[in-house]
């Protein structure tokens, strides 16, 4: 028998998006909503013609009014439902990421049909981000389910650190904060092993949940081609690409970042792996630093900048920023050298990024020979019905 959650009626304009697989129902598509329904309550979405479209939790303060969890009218959003969803997410990682499970995204929101929930594992600590009011008020259940499910797979979790210092929470009317769940007393730094590389992760103060797990497989690609090469890693942060190049027996690696704190951590990571005598670390603005270099100075240049745009409104400025650094890098590379370039902004769409690269190469007077095109690591899966889950574009070219 079909459950009877409260209803929200959606406008005709919003219907096609949900029917095509979109998991977000926006505030401007509300045709009718009873004000008495509690914030965070489960709610069914219907058309004006009473066609069922999905079920999720109500977020009264957010532009995303409902994040859809199920499109099965017989499914109940209870403990059993979340246990099954979390188990499916974990089983996927045990299949595709079994060699890096101690540093792995275990739950990736919409891509795991759990919109509003991010869970990363760093050894015995889970680092979470919740951007849904409905999940926030159910987090104790979710956390305990995760701990129990991992224990069944012989993985012990000693603490859960909440990195809820994200702007998405403010839009939900939720407090922005960070700290251990249930005030656990554990260190906030830990050493992970990424494809055999030792890395210290600061999940209290590091970027995202502590580290850029989404580039794991791409960093390994660089390691495989770095032997005997001089490598420049721009926007190096704590040295992920630079260290992989050095471990891949590069002739020399230079890591450049504007943050001295990040570079200090990169040096610490280099020492952990006995690579400090194969690298140097330069504190500088990458745009300015590239201007100081001479042609034919490097065999490989890596461009892994932060997102130049986090909205469609600033895409033109971002386009010029990406074009500028890529053109500078193309001019500095040796003839036959390799450009490793990427964008982590979902608003910088693939077609636009490729258009930018073509323009940059033409203006730099070089040709680009494609080596590989990849995206984010397997533990950040892409749900094709939700374009928002696809954001990382990663290209390797030979520049001739």
Q: Look at the chain and count its residues.
A: 400
What tens digit of pLDDT does each residue of 156-194 get?
A: 999 999 999 998 999 999 999 999 999 999 999 999 999
What is the model's pLDDT at position 99?
A: 87
CA distance 69 to 253: 46
Structure token pair of residue 65:
């009014």
Statement: 212-399 belongs to CATH 3.40.50.150: yes
CA distance 212 to 355: 26
Structure token pair of residue 366:
């070089």
What is the model's pLDDT at position 322?
A: 92
Structure token pair of residue 146:
């995760």
Phi, psi of 298 (to 5 degrees): -130, 150
What is the model's pLDDT at position 154?
A: 95
Domain range 7-70, its CATH number among 2.102.10.10, 3.40.1280.10, 3.40.50.300, 2.30.130.10: 2.30.130.10
CA distance 341 to 269: 23
Query: Hey, what CATH class is 79-188 in?
Result: alpha beta
DSSP string for 72-120:
-TT---SHHHHHHHHHHHHHHHHHH-GGGTTEEEEEEGGGGT-TTEEEE
Task: Calculate the average pLDDT of the chain.
Answer: 94
Query: Contact, 249 vs 222, CB < 8 A?
Result: no
CA distance 63 to 61: 7
Query: Contact, 267 vs 243, CB < 8 A?
Result: no
Helix (H) / strand (E) containing 122? strand 117-122
CA distance 109 to 231: 35
What's the start-to-end Cα distance of the chain, in Å?
A: 65
DSSP for residue 318? H
What tens digit of pLDDT does each residue of 38-94 get?
A: 999 999 999 999 999 999 999 999 999 999 999 999 999 999 999 999 999 999 999
pLDDT-wise least confident of 19-28, 230-239, 244-253? 19-28
What is the model's pLDDT at position 3?
A: 61
Q: What mean pLDDT do residues 295-322 have?
A: 86
The share of the chain scoring above pLDDT 70, in percent, equals: 98
Query: Contact, 213 vs 223, CB < 8 A?
Result: no
- Half-sphere exposure of residue 288: CA atoms within 13 angstroms, side-chain side: 6
Pairing mode of beta strands 103-108, 189-194: unpaired
Query: Strand, helix or coil at 320?
Result: helix
What tens digit of pLDDT does each residue of 124-146 get?
A: 999 999 999 999 999 999 999 99
Q: What mean pLDDT do residues 303-320 have?
A: 81
What tens digit of pLDDT does each residue of 360-374 get?
A: 999 999 999 999 999
Pairing mode of beta strands 159-164, 197-202: unpaired
What is the model's pLDDT at position 112?
A: 97
- Residue indicated by tokens 């990571």: 269
Which residue ranges make up each domain of the chain? 7-70, 79-188, 212-399
- Residue indicated by tokens 């608003």: 347
Strand order in the sheet with 52-58: 24-26, 64-70, 52-58, 42-46, 7-10, 30-33
Closest CA to 346 of 393, 282, 382, 313: 393
pLDDT of 307 over the 80 cut: no
What is the model's pLDDT at position 313?
A: 78
What's the pLDDT band for 1 if we cut at 50, 70, 90? very low
Query: Contact, 269 vs 241, CB < 8 A?
Result: no
Structure token pair of residue 27:
């505030």
């Amino acid at each position: 028998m079909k459950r009877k959650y409260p209803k929200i009626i959606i406008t005709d304009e919003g219907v096609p998006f949900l029917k095509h697989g979109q998991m977000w129902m926006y505030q401007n598509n509300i045709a009718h909503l009873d004000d008495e329904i509690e914030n965070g309550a489960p709610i069914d979405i219907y058309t004006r013609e009473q066609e069922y479209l999905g079920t999720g939790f109500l977020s009264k303060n957010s532009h995303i009014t409902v994040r859809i969890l199920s499109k099965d009218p017989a499914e109940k959003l209870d403990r059993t439902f979340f246990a099954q969803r979390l188990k499916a997410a974990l089983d996927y990682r045990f299949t595709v990421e079994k060699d890096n499970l101690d540093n792995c995204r275990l739950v990736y929101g919409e891509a795991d049909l759990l919109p509003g929930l991010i869970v990363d594992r760093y050894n015995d600590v889970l680092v979470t981000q919740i951007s849904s009011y409905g999940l926030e008020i159910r987090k104790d259940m979710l956390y305990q389910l995760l701990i129990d499910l991992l224990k069944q797979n012989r993985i012990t979790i000693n603490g859960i650190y909440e990195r809820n210092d994200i702007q998405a929470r403010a839009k939900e009317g939720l407090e922005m904060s960070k700290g251990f769940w249930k005030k656990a007393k554990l260190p906030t730094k830990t050493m992970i092993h990424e494809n055999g590389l030792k890395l210290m992760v600061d999940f209290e103060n590091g970027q995202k949940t502590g580290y850029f797990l989404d580039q794991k497989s791409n960093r390994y690609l660089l390691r495989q081609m770095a032997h005997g090469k001089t490598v420049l890693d721009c926007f190096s942060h704590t040295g992920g690409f630079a260290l992989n190049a050095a471990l891949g027996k590069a002739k020399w690696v230079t890591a450049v970042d504007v943050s001295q704190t990040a570079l200090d951590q990169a040096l610490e990571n280099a020492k952990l792996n006995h690579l400090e005598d194969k690298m140097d670390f330069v504190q500088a603005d990458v745009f300015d630093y590239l201007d100081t270099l001479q042609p034919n100075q490097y065999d490989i240049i890596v461009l892994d900048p932060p997102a130049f745009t986090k909205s469609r409104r600033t895409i033109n400025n971002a386009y010029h920023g990406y074009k500028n650094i890529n053109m500078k890098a193309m001019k500095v590379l040796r003839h036959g050298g390799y450009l490793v370039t990427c964008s982590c902004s979902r608003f910088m769409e693939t077609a636009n990024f490729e258009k930018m690269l073509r323009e940059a190469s033409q203006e730099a007077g070089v040709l680009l020979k494609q080596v590989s095109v990849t995206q984010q690591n397997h533990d950040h899966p892409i749900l094709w019905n939700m374009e928002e889950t696809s954001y990382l574009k990663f290209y390797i070219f030979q520049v001739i």
